[in-house]
């Protein structure tokens, strides 16, 4: 049994197919353009000695040699943080293991 479509349905299907094909082509071109840009950027970095210079960098997060940095929280808070860690472990639900029965 053959399915008959009206002219309206056929034209709608063709338009949908054409739109899908056009979108696919656009995405492919965009991907190829992105790959070319990435390769050009990598080649430029290799030629400049592998160092990347960002002209827009504003110095935020710059390392301060004189800044005092600690590895953890203050020593006063260590007792509280230890108790917090224990309570958070107690609150965490245990993982249930599901075993399969042999038939």
| Each residue's pLDDT tens digit, 67-82 | 666 666 555 555 555 5
Domain count of the fold of the chain: 1
Give residue 24's Cα distance to chain centre: 23
14 within some domain: yes
80 within some domain: no
84 within some domain: no
62 within some domain: no
Q: What is the pTM of this model?
A: 0.40
59 within some domain: no
**DSSP state string for 76-95:** GGHHHHHHHHHHHHHHSPPP
Confidence (pLDDT) at 48: 81
Could you list the residue range(s) of the whole structural domain that residue 9 is in?
A: 1-48
Residue 98: pLDDT band with limits 50, 70, 90: confident
pLDDT tens for 10-57 read 999 999 999 999 999 999 999 999 999 999 999 988 888 755 555 555
15 within some domain: yes
């Amino acid at each position: 049994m053959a399915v008959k479509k009206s002219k309206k349905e056929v034209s709608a299907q063709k338009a949908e197919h054409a739109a899908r094909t056009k979108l696919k082509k656009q995405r492919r071109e965009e991907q190829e353009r992105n790959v070319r840009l990435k390769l050009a950027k990598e080649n430029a970095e290799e030629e400049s000695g592998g160092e990347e210079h960002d002209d827009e960098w504003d110095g935020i997060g710059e390392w301060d040699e004189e800044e005092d940095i600690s590895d953890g929280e203050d020593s006063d808070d260590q007792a509280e943080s230890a108790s917090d860690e224990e309570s958070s472990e107690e609150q965490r639900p245990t993982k249930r293991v599901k075993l399969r029965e042999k038939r």
